[in-house]
Chains A and B, each alone.
Chain A
């Protein structure tokens, strides 16, 4: 008998008492009723607790904010689906020469990504209560690797994509897309359980929450 058949046989044999399949009580919170301003406030509070930097901006203020964040940075990476207009202000200084784009047919190598100072991406959905931003490799977020290798991640979150609790967020996602859930910059508590921000993933996380 091959391993698959044998293991399944062992398991069926183990279950020969035919244990009942219980009903799953879902009495925990699955929806919430927070308004947009409350959601922004809660998400901001949680992200600051994780030592992320948070900027809340109206849509029109995003290009100057990005320009300010990228000031002093060298080259930065972006996914091909990110709206180029967001960089209008940043481009005014350098005509876009610092920006490298990861696009189908024109992929940035790991070495390219290791050499940039930052990456700018969008996001799919966020969870205010836990300070979590979820990327699902959509066109404005790009391949998983681009938000991983650069040492600084500038991530934009649309206010309308903020949910209060995790069950609401999962309802907006497709399980089969590659996902990265991000709650603050990389961190470790491995030495005496003291939290230290910044290990292998981006050591700086800048979050721009975009109103409207």
Chain B
């Protein structure tokens, strides 16, 4: 079954759901940057976590060897994915679990809702899960009359405030403690009106609020961090114990997981459980990790389901340059080191997946032309900090550049309005002009004759503040200094015509420049 693909190659089928930037990133970023509270909160939080991460990573003498093993394991998972999925399915099923396959977000949502209804339940408790965020499960369940209660503290804060997560690990990172207290006072019934903004007091309020829910829940919905093909085991990594509550107490457990989360074998977990906690929360180990394999008689949920989700993952896998984005273990280290994310926050990216990984993953899952996702690969200065921080060595800068190319290619020959699509775009024309100008010295010389025109455009303040057409993006946030009166080549020609009468300083004069007080006299010709 798992041999080489012999059928007709199918076109990539992209994902749907909460994966889209709805307005161009620069526009969204511009708005978010205006929120000074957000910038202060984010600056504080990302700085804290960066330092914690560095401290615990530098403790390990074999961090780079672990990263390299992690990268290789994930690469082999992608290469062997069909075979590993079948192996996982056989093991999970043999131990009493039930597997469902979902082509996209809509299909996954319908499967989960039907499973909940089968239990006669109209509410569920939830463990923080990126996959269910991606498919918009909570919104769908609400439409179906099923209430979904987020139980992770940050997810609870976001849900109570009717807000959206802004970070994949700490979704409420954009809110500070006094904002959280205000949300609790406003939204939690019966909360102590004297609640302070001490994090410990706020955590205690969340505990009291969710306790009854946990103890009486019939159905829980979770994501999964890892799935082991050789045993059919699932793993959830968490801190608060809300995960353990959801994975242990209800009779029915429904897990939604992307197909790429597999690991081949038990021994691979030793690599990822060293990489993940240190990269994400900057801890040597997270407080709780739960592992379960199908159903264990008399211990935990007896009705155990797993929804395996494609939703664009197969399309991302088809992109040879981009497929390693699927290696992501959702640690969020790339966000915490990204100078762009640190200032704009997660909401600017539109998608469930923000930051550097989101800037590649979202367009890979949806296709580069979906909504405004083509603006995401430009949300980077290509500084490479994300690549250095990534525990599985995803080369995010390379994939960003690759996707920028995809974006340009997708617009090629689309300069005209509808119906006249074959007209070249401004980018096409610009590239064509540059290719002509740079193809010979003679051509470049002709172009350089236009420099005085640029000086004229710059005017007396010697600045160009507004370029036309697609070049306007460049001048949106910076000025271009007036071009020089002559080009280097023009200067060189003049200089070398003048060589007949040499003007270079003599050795004696040059030696004189060492004297104090003479400054740089005689050195004005130095390049």
| Interface positions of A (Cβ within 8 A of B) | 2-4, 6-30, 46, 49-50, 104, 107, 110-111, 114, 127, 129-132, 137, 143-145, 148-149, 166-167, 170, 175-194, 196, 198-202
24 A-B pairs in the complex with CB atoms less than 8 angstroms apart: A3-B101, A6-B103, A7-B314, A10-B12, A14-B12, A19-B320, A27-B62, A28-B66, A104-B298, A131-B284, A145-B248, A148-B248, A175-B266, A179-B292, A182-B287, A186-B240, A189-B239, A190-B172, A191-B177, A191-B199, A193-B173, A194-B48, A199-B240, A202-B241
Q: For chain B residues 288-344, which have a beta carbon within 8 Å of chain A?
A: 288-293, 296, 298-300, 308, 310, 314-315, 317-318, 320, 323
Residues of A within 8 A of B296 (CB): 137, 177-178
Q: Measured between C-beta atoms, what is the minimum distance from A31 to chain B in Å?
A: 12
- Does any Cβ of A come within 8 Å of B210's Cβ? yes
Evaluate contact between B170 and A193: CB separation under 8 angstroms.
yes
- Residue from A20, A167, A201 whose CB has the most chain B CB atoms within 10 Å: A201
User: Which residue of chain B is the closest to A8 with respect to CB atoms?
Assistant: B82
A212–B320 alpha-carbon span in the complex (Å): 56
Residues of A within 8 A of B177 (CB): 191-192
CB within 8 Å for A188 and B240 given contacts A19-B79, A24-B76: yes
A185–B286 alpha-carbon span in the complex (Å): 10
Q: For chain B residues 156-177, which have a beta carbon within 8 Å of chain A?
A: 157, 170, 172-173, 176-177
Interface stretch (choices B21-29, B133-141, B268-276): B268-276
A14–B248 alpha-carbon span in the complex (Å): 37
CB within 8 Å for A143 and B68 given contacts A19-B79, A170-B269, A187-B239: no
**A16, A28, A183, A193: which contacts B45 (Cβ < 8 A)?**
A193
Evaluate contact between A3 and B215: CB separation under 8 angstroms.
no
Residues of B within 8 A of A191 (CB): 153-154, 172, 177, 180, 199, 202-203
Evaluate contact between B48 and A193: CB separation under 8 angstroms.
yes
- Residue from A23, A107, A181, A189 whose CB has the most chain B CB atoms within 10 Å: A189
CB within 8 Å for A192 and B244 given contacts A8-B82, A167-B270, A181-B285: no
**A4, A23, A148, A192: which contacts B241 (Cβ < 8 A)?**
A148
Q: Measured between C-beta atoms, what is the minimum distance from A203 to chain B in Å?
A: 8
5 A-B pairs with the lowest CB-CB distances in the bound complex, closest first: A201-B241, A12-B5, A14-B318, A200-B241, A10-B314
Q: Measured between C-beta atoms, what is the minimum distance from A167 to chain B in Å?
A: 4
CB within 8 Å for A28 and B288 given contacts A114-B215, A176-B231, A190-B153: no
Evaluate contact between B291 and A179: CB separation under 8 angstroms.
yes
- Does any Cβ of A come within 8 Å of B41's Cβ? yes
**A11, A18, A189, A192: which contacts B81 (Cβ < 8 A)?**
A11
**B7, B274, B291: which contacts A175 (Cβ < 8 A)?**
B291
Q: Measured between C-beta atoms, what is the minimum distance from B188 to chain A in Å?
A: 15
A122–B10 alpha-carbon span in the complex (Å): 54
**B7, B274, B298: which contacts A9 (Cβ < 8 A)?**
B7
Evaluate contact between A27 and B287: CB separation under 8 angstroms.
no
User: Which residue of chain A is the closest to B108 with respect to CB atoms?
Assistant: A3
Evaluate contact between A25 and B72: CB separation under 8 angstroms.
yes
A135–B284 alpha-carbon span in the complex (Å): 18
A26–B71 alpha-carbon span in the complex (Å): 11
Q: Measured between C-beta atoms, what is the minimum distance from B5 to chain A in Å?
A: 4
Q: Measured between C-beta atoms, what is the minimum distance from A46 to chain B in Å?
A: 7
Residues of A within 8 A of B287 (CB): 50, 182-187, 201
- Does any Cβ of A come within 8 Å of B148's Cβ? no
Residues of B within 8 A of A188 (CB): 153-154, 199, 203, 239-240
Evaluate contact between B267 and A167: CB separation under 8 angstroms.
yes
